[in-house]
Amino acid sequence: MMNNFTFQFRRIWTLLAILIAGLITTPIYAQSSITVSGTVTAQEDASTLPGVSVIIKNNTQGTTTDIGGKYSIKTTVGAILIFRSVGYGSREVTVTGATLNIALSTRLNSLNEVVVIGYGTTTKQNITTSVAKVDPKNVPQAANNSVGQLLFGRAPGLQVTQASTQPGGNINLSIRGRGNPLYVVDGVIFPGDGLEPGNGSIAGETNGVSRGGLAGINPSDIESIEVLKDAAAAIYGVNAANGVILITTKKGKAGRMNVTYNGSYSFEKNYPYLQPLNATQYETLYNQITKDQTNAAPKYSAADIANAGAGTNWLNQVFQTGSINNHMVNINGGTDKTTYYLSGGYYDEVGTLKGAGLTKVTGRANLSFNLAKFLTLNTNFTGNSNKYLNSSSGGQTGGSGSQGFGIIQAALGYPANVPVRDANGNYSQFGVITNPVSFQDIQDQTNYHSLSANVSADVKFIPQVLTGHVLFGDNYESATRNFFVPSTVYYYQQNISRASLNYNNRENQTVEATLSFKKSLAKIVNIDAVAGFGQYKSTYSSFGSQGQGGQDAIGTTNLAQEASNLGITSSQTANKLRSYFARGTFDFVDRYLLTLTYRYDGYSLFFPDNKYASFPSVSIGWKINNESFMKNITFIDQLKLRASIGTTGQTLAGTAAYGGYSADGNITYFNNGAASYVTLSRYGVDQPDLQWQKTTNKNIGLDFGFFKDRINGSIDFFKDDINNLLGYYSAAPLSYLSTEPFNGGHQTRTGYDIGINTHNLKVKNFEWNTNINISHYVYKWVERFKYDNINHTYQSDTDPVNEIYYFKTSGILQAGQAVPLSQPTAGGANLPGAPIFVDVNKDNKLDGNDVFKLNPDPKLSIGFGNDFHYKQFDLSIFFYGQFGGTGTNYNNAWGDLSSIASGTQGGTVQALNAYTSANTSGTRPGVNYIESAAGLLVGSDLNLVSTNFVRCRNLTLGYTFNSAFVNRFTKSLRVFADAQNLFIITNYKGVDPEVYNTGVKGGYAPYPMMRTFSFGVKAGF
Classify 337 as helix, strand or coil: coil
- Distance CA(17)–CA(559), nearest Å, equals 56
- 211: confidence class by pLDDT, cuts 50, 70, 90: confident
Q: State the amino acid at position 746 in one-letter form.
A: H
Q: What is the pLDDT of residue 28?
A: 39
3-state per-residue secondary structure call for 429-451: CECCECCCHHHHHCEEEEEEEEE
Stated pTM of the model: 0.87
Concatenate the DSSP letters of all residues of 793-810 into one string.
TT--TTSBTT-EEEE-EE
Asked if the model's pLDDT at residue 794 lies above 90, the reply is yes
Q: Which residues contact 272 (CB under 8 A, 6 or more apart)?
A: none
Q: What is the pLDDT of residue 18?
A: 43
CA atoms within 13 A on the CB side of 674: 2
pLDDT tens figures, 965-974: 877 788 888 9
Q: Which residues contact 893 (CB under 8 A, 6 or more apart)?
A: 899, 999, 1002, 1003, 1004
Sign of the torsion angle spanned by Cα atoms 312, 314, 315, 320: positive
Give the CATH fold of the 147-251+271-276+315-392+442-487+502-678+695-804+858-889+943-1020 domain: Maltoporin; Chain A (2.40.170)
Asked if the model's pLDDT at residue 994 lies above 70, the reply is yes
Task: Classify 69 in phi/psi space as left (phi over 0), alpha (psi -120 to 50) or beta.
Answer: left
- Distance CA(746)–CA(779), nearest Å, equals 11
pLDDT tens figures, 198-210: 887 776 666 668 8
Looking at the DSSP bridge assignments, the partners of residue 452 are 382, 475
- Confirm whether 34-107 and 147-251+271-276+315-392+442-487+502-678+695-804+858-889+943-1020 share one CATH topology: no
CB 599 within 8 A of CB 579: yes
555: phi then psi, degrees, rounded to nearest 5? 60, -125
* Cα separation values, 169 from 214, 261, 950, Å: 11, 26, 21
pLDDT tens figures, 472-526: 999 999 999 999 999 999 988 889 999 999 999 999 999 999 999 999 998 899 9
Averaged pLDDT of the chain: 89
Quote the percentage of the chain above a pLDDT of 70: 95
Concatenate the DSSP letters of all residues of 13-28 into one string.
HHHHHHHHHHHHTSPP
Q: What is the pLDDT of residue 734?
A: 73
Asked if the model's pLDDT at residue 8 lies above 50, the reply is no
Q: What is the pLDDT of residue 207?
A: 65
Q: Which residues contact 154 (CB under 8 A, 6 or more apart)?
A: 134, 139, 160, 773, 863
- 17: confidence class by pLDDT, cuts 50, 70, 90: very low
* Domains of the chain by residue range: 34-107, 147-251+271-276+315-392+442-487+502-678+695-804+858-889+943-1020
- 653: confidence class by pLDDT, cuts 50, 70, 90: low
Strands 222-228 and 949-960: unpaired
Quote the percentage of the chain above a pLDDT of 90: 62
Helices (H), 751-886: none
Closest CA to 286 of 977, 947, 902: 902
Closest CA to 162 of 918, 981, 801, 896: 981
Closest CA to 1020 of 141, 45, 19: 45
Q: What is the pLDDT of residue 410?
A: 94
Closest CA to 314 of 412, 402, 403: 412
- 826: confidence class by pLDDT, cuts 50, 70, 90: very high
- CB-neighbour burial class of residue 83 (10 A; exposed 0-12, middle 13-18, buried 19+): buried
Closest CA to 233 of 134, 118, 151: 118
Burial 638-667 (b: 16+ CB within 10 A, else e): bbbebbbbbbbbbbbeebbbeeeeeeeeee
Tell me which of 359 and 137 has the higher pLDDT.
359
Classify 11 as helix, strand or coil: helix
- Distance CA(11)–CA(947), nearest Å, equals 41
Sign of the torsion angle spanned by Cα atoms 909, 910, 916, 920: positive
Strands 944-946 and 120-123: unpaired
Q: What is the pLDDT of residue 238?
A: 80
What number does CATH give the domain 34-107? 2.60.40.1120
Q: What angle do CA 964, 965, 967 make, to 5 degrees?
A: 60
Asked if the model's pLDDT at residue 1011 lies above 50, the reply is yes
